[in-house]
């Protein structure tokens, strides 16, 4: 009987530890930023201010997307100490598409597929320290992807 109680206590403790990363992730999730319908609202929710355009950011995206439901975007930051890469699409129902957070020493590089409602600029914003840098690329959408 005593062995079973110890086992159950250990099982509950392990379950609580397993859920800890999910709680940490939930704390990092910025609901208001991801629900913002306007670009400036999403940026304000992420506390992004004073963005400087940078040639140290490379963005690869198609000039024309046959189908807005699947648009591949690649962002590479050569800015030292890149902490995050946020991707915005101004003409989407919600402007913030993704916000990737990096640990110290990680390469500032992401590849993802996004949905685009219509032709728009795709904006990548890189955070390094208290500074923000950006690059953008116009993507013409030939077939609507959001709906």
Confidence of residue 144 (pLDDT cuts 50, 70, 90): low
pLDDT band for position 30 (cuts 50, 70, 90): confident
pLDDT value for 24? 46
Q: Please tell me the predicted confidence (pLDDT) of residue 45.
A: 93
* Domains of the chain, CATH where assigned: 31-141 (2.60.40.2470)
- For residue 27, what pLDDT is reported? 44
Find the range with the poorest average confidence among 11-20, 33-42, 57-66, 71-80.
11-20
CA 97 distance to own-chain centroid: 6
| 42-60: pLDDT as tens digits | 999 999 999 999 999 999 9
Q: How far, in whole angstroms, is CA 112 from its chain's centroid?
A: 9
Is a pLDDT exceeding 60 seen at residue 19?
no
Q: Is the pLDDT of residue 145 over 90?
A: no
Tell whether pTM > 0.95.
no
């Amino acid at each position: 009987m005593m062995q079973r109680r110890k086992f159950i206590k250990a099982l509950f403790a392990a379950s609580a530890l397993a859920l800890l990363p999910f709680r940490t992730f939930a704390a990092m999730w910025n609901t208001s930023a991801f629900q913002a319908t306007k670009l400036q609202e999403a940026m304000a929710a992420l506390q992004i201010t004073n963005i400087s355009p940078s040639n140290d950011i490379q963005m690869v995206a198609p000039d024309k997307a046959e189908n807005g439901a699947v648009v591949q975007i690649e962002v590479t930051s050569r800015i030292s100490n890149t902490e995050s890469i946020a991707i915005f699409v101004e003409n989407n129902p919600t402007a913030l598409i993704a916000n990737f957070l990096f640990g110290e020493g990680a390469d500032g590089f992401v590849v993802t597929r996004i949905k685009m409602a219509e032709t728009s600029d795709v904006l990548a914003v890189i955070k390094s320290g208290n500074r923000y840098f950006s690059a953008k690329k116009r993507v013409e959408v030939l077939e609507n992807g959001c709906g």
